[in-house]
Amino acid sequence: MSTTTSLDNHVLNRLALTESNMSELSQIDHECSTIGEKLAYWRASKYDFAVATRRLHETQEWRANSGMDRIVSDPNWLQKERKFRYLLKYDFLGLDKYGRPVMVERVGAWNVRDVMEAAANDDDFLKLHCIACETLIHMDRPNDAVDDRGQVIIMDCQGLSVGHLKPGLIKAFGRLSSNDSAHYPDTLAHIFVVNAPTLFSVLATLIKPFMDPDTYSKVHVSSSVPKNLTEIVGSDCLPKSLGGKREGIFPYNEDAPLSDHPRAETMNHSRSI
């Protein structure tokens, strides 16, 4: 867990690394990936070029075997993902004031029994989660965005109960976290856990083994909605329930329409790796 600053240290570090190691990144033998992807895998591999190369090839193989590039442009899968949002109470809020994609999830409002039933089909559960990951990655950012990879996730835990601690549920979301670490590294700028009851400390202890230490360091927990959420993210994209300006948006108004993300023009192409 960590404190937050307006301009994140890890972003500054990433920019410095990009400038100083541009030529060295060519040592990562994966011609299909961008400089940004190579840098992300290099950072996630503790600056080991050989490990970064291996991990990039593993991700390429995973994408081929899972059919991920086909799934993210398949209307049937995209429709399934929209229904998935009603189950997990999440949606995409657009971009924060730094041009980073923002997603909110009302974890505490889950019907735990329904989520458990959906998670029993672990293959589909993972694929639907990955569509959300792909949506965040492909969301258009301003050309002058300082952070060209980071995302902001807000988890609202109001209503969290002991039902959320079921071993099957922890295992299912542990698998999602492990997959994210393997195939979507260095994408998180912040995870804000808001309205967290005391019980969350138990949940955090259970999920910590599944999380990459660098990711865990970006988790910020508050028992309410912290004031610095609007300072860091900006109020324009946030709903009023989180201190922002927006009214009547899903998932805080469950009768409101879902956001229009993902958009066809950003999803109807494969990632470079």
Q: Where do runs of H (alpha helix) occur along the chain?
A: 9-20, 35-44, 49-66, 68-71, 75-88, 112-119, 122-138, 167-183, 200-207, 213-216, 228-233, 264-267
pLDDT tens for the chain, 273 residues long, are 544 455 566 565 655 555 555 556 666 766 667 777 888 898 899 888 889 999 999 999 999 999 999 999 999 999 999 999 999 999 999 999 999 999 999 999 999 999 999 999 999 999 999 999 999 999 999 988 878 889 999 999 999 999 999 999 999 999 999 999 999 999 999 999 999 999 888 888 887 887 778 788 889 999 999 999 999 999 999 999 999 999 999 999 999 999 999 976 666 544 556
Collapse the DSSP code of 91 into the 3-class scheme (helix H, G, I; strand E, B; otherwise coil) and give the result.
Answer: strand
Give the C-alpha distances (Å, rounded to integers) separating 228 from 97, 174, 194.
13, 28, 11
